[in-house]
Structure 1
């Protein structure tokens, strides 16, 4: 009954307010605490804009943000807190803190606080600024995962606070100081500064840096982001049926249906090529082009893998099809596998001889049974018992 009453009260609350009640925020030092923001890592000498999206979202969701709200952004410095104004190298603009440019000494924990007569709420974020000459760039990188063979589009992340209109974004790979050009192999630019790799290979793994120049208060500042691209290796497909050396038998004039079944990783199933070949040629280019048809490709999930099935149908098997070599071929960016099989046409003459021999044997068995029954010798009647009884009667 208590649970039912609580559920009923929750329904009433939702219907009255239009949305479920939010849980209360924890309080510390008389101020409500918002979950910390995701910490950011930047290079020294670049423009950095620090903002508090989780903090702003909480205020909006709880409808406690008046239009003319004032915020205080401060940096913890031991027991003291440093606050900022709207001018100088470090400037506060509403819920943002601008570093023009950032220095290694700017590293630390920053808090953004909204306070009125009755309410106080605060959020925090950690900023780490590294010297570009000594830092391991992998520590500053955004992870990016790609699979061999797929098309990869990379964009420059975390630039939403900057005005990027009419701004050229350049890309660099590794420690190279030469920007990637559209004419270079496997690299192309897209509008908006995105980097396109048409077909990912293992050699594409590594660090990529996007770099641009932004204009803030009529002064240019450098901004860059580093991404770590991880390339997942693709395993070659495995043909599970038919086996190498399989012989498909069919009689003259009949049809023959064969299946090629391939196991591969599911992310690469659509890009995995499966086909039949006849005497090292495609079915469409072979002498069987008018009598053979391949198709009916089906992809099904088998445990953690995917199975691709492709059938080959040959109509009206003839003598010229005897001992013809056919192949099932499976290929993706991870590798290639082939399985060789043979077509064997059964000899019709031998078949009829076997049928005739079986029929003759059956006929001979029937005839033998009939003759045995017809000429079976008759058994002699035994009169000894009757004669013995007759003799005993006369003796009395």
Structure 2
């Protein structure tokens, strides 16, 4: 058996070398199509050539005399080798344009190539396959798909993904749903319905990882498929609205003196909108800051809520503002799929303050009052006599 496999490998290598000079469309390694599968579970992988790179399907290519060949490169190896389709119980097999693993093993990890060729032409593409392990609570390095549900938006469902083609329609598999490590049974607002999981009223508390475990028979053997996805509850479309500007505010005035630093926040609230692009920007006299000659900087920050509503802030900063800068028009703009809004900041130059002059005048007045009070308390008798002597009535005349 080992000798036969060695001969097949040499034959395969000879085929590759003999056609090295023929025209071959090599699409390289498609890293965007990295496939992850669980260890000890079935996996079916379609050749990407017919999905993304060629205009015809497998049947058309086969009818035209083209042959589909599979080979792979083991993890941490550079040598391409044919896939062994003679393993016990046909653990790895090919059916048309699909490569089957029943089941996968950890050492199946590597780069797989499917090549469509005849004597004069070939086209091939490679893709990475990673076999990962999971624990009893379905935790693993697997990149999980995210399914978004709307907050309090009526009955919504998720489905057990990527199970088509594993068993015929007349087979009724056993399906069990889990939230995290807990089997879903008698949950308040979550109801398993076969391949679907219904959320009666989605709440933020429903956020989490949901797993469907599908068990089915095939040729006297029992296989298990595990599919985990993340549920994320987001804002309802009923609550969607155009952006709302918190700042600048009509009641806030930014008064500065030339030479001071001017800071104006453009703070905007965006409700969640599916596939909406949230934008926020400043204009100065109708131009974007980078298109002006002003020494200005703009820094943006984002605060994301649990339901993916967000508050964006762009802080406009001029380190040393000039009198001319204080006369300009600063406008905060925001836009999403529901509309566009803007608001101007109220910027003014501080009125001149005569602080020293007023302080000196007030101090002199207080000092004068104090001096007069002291003089009155010390010389009040002399002042009375002086008054009577010069301005008082002559009492001797009144006596006559």
TM range (shorter): 0.3 to 0.5
- Using the size of structure 2 for normalisation, the TM-score is 0.48
Q: Give the alignment's TM-score, normalised by structure 1.
A: 0.48
